[in-house]
Amino acid sequence: MTERLVLHEYSQSGNCYKIRLTAALLRVPLERREYDIAKGETRTPEFLAGINPNGRIPVLQVGDRFIPESNAACFYLADGTRLVPEDRFDRADMLHWMFFEQYNHEPNVATLRFWRAFVGEDRLGEAQRAQIPAKQAAGEAALKLLDDHLALRDWLVGDRPTLADIALYAYTHVAGEGGFDIAAFPAIGGWLDRMAGEPGYVAMGG
């Protein structure tokens, strides 16, 4: 990796953490630039024109080019390393878990964490409050599916950690902050411990 890598981030975001954890496990140095999303720092004209027209972090800067979407940025860092399986089926299976994370897990588990631990339930709008029961149920279903899968194996794909584990670890290990009872999912508990024991592991938010 010869080009300069800069992570445009908000350090409490699990999506940003995925990229930092991938880089740490691979011992790839990243510069970091913090944005205050509560102050709208990712919606300024400069950010939209220069970094991400979607107005979101994380964005991984590679030289003078930019990769939005956390799981795509992780793929860039890990492409060709042990964190992406060499086997064609396993590589697609890894992506299956990463798309599951963004579609079924993050919009429920991460959103409830953000609403409850960062915004505060009393500050939510009516439309948000109305979505809580559905998001709670969908988040629990996603965690149940993950737990069932991990009951039979140590890692989501193959016999070692891949980007699938990193992508799902990020918001699962702080799901308690969103009101989810992680203790109800015993296989997830063991998997979280295995992830935290990986050489090079870094904690969130640091």
Q: Does residue 130 touch a second copy according to CB under 8 A?
A: yes
Q: How far apart are CA 201 and CA 194, in angstroms?
A: 10
Chosen residue from 91, 136, 140, 182 binding a second copy by CB under 8 A: 91
Chosen residue from 65, 120, 197, 199 binding a second copy by CB under 8 A: 65
Q: How far apart are CA 34 and CA 36, in angstroms?
A: 7
Chosen residue from 26, 107, 116, 117 binding a second copy by CB under 8 A: 107
Q: Closest distance between a second copy and the C-beta of residue 10, in Å? A: 17
Chosen residue from 30, 57, 73, 195 binding a second copy by CB under 8 A: 73
User: Binding segment for a second copy among 115-123, 143-151, 152-160, 178-186 (CB under 8 A)?
Assistant: 143-151
DSSP character string of 24-74: HHTT---EEEE--GGGTTTSSHHHHHHT-TT--S-EEEETTEEEESHHHHH
Q: Are 45 and 98 in contact (CB under 8 A)?
A: no
Q: Does residue 93 touch a second copy according to CB under 8 A?
A: yes
Q: Does residue 72 touch a second copy according to CB under 8 A?
A: yes
- CA distances to 7, 62, 117, 127, 169 from 100, rounded to whole Å, are 24, 26, 24, 25, 13
Chosen residue from 35, 100, 180, 191 binding a second copy by CB under 8 A: 100
Q: Closest distance between a second copy and the C-beta of residue 117, in Å? A: 21
Q: Closest distance between a second copy and the C-beta of residue 73, in Å? A: 7
Q: Does residue 104 touch a second copy according to CB under 8 A?
A: yes
Could you report how far apart the first and last alpha carbons of the chain are, in Å?
Answer: 24
Instruction: Please give the helix or strand (H or E) that residue 23 lies within, else none.
Output: helix 14-25
Residues 38-43: contacts with CB under 8 Å, at least 24 apart: 42/10
For 23, phi then psi, to 5°, come to -65, -40
Chosen residue from 11, 28, 41, 69 binding a second copy by CB under 8 A: 69
Maximum separation of any 2 CA atoms in the chain, in Å: 49
Binding stretches for a second copy (CB under 8 A): 53-54, 62, 65, 67-73, 75-76, 79-80, 88-89, 91-93, 95-96, 98-100, 102-104, 106-107, 127, 130-131, 134, 145, 148-149
